[in-house]
Amino acid sequence: MPVPKRRTGKTRKNTRRSHHALTAPALVECASCGERILPHRVCPKCGHYKDRLVVSVEAE
Task: Give pTM, 2 decimals.
Answer: 0.62
What is the residue extent of each domain of the chain?
Answer: 24-60
| pLDDT score of 60 | 58
Residue 31 neighbours by CB under 8 Å, 6+ apart: 48, 50, 51
| pLDDT score of 57 | 83
- Nearest-angstrom CA–CA distance, 20 and 22: 7
| pLDDT score of 58 | 79
Q: What is the dihedral of CA 31, 32, 33, 39, to 10 degrees?
A: -40
Question: Over its length of 60 residues, how does the chain's per-residue pLDDT go in tens digits?
Answer: 999 999 999 999 999 999 999 999 999 999 989 999 999 999 999 999 998 898 888 765
Please report the DSSP string for the chain in residue order: ----SSPPPHHHHHHHGGG----PPP-EE-TTT--EE-TTS--TTT-EETTEE-S-----
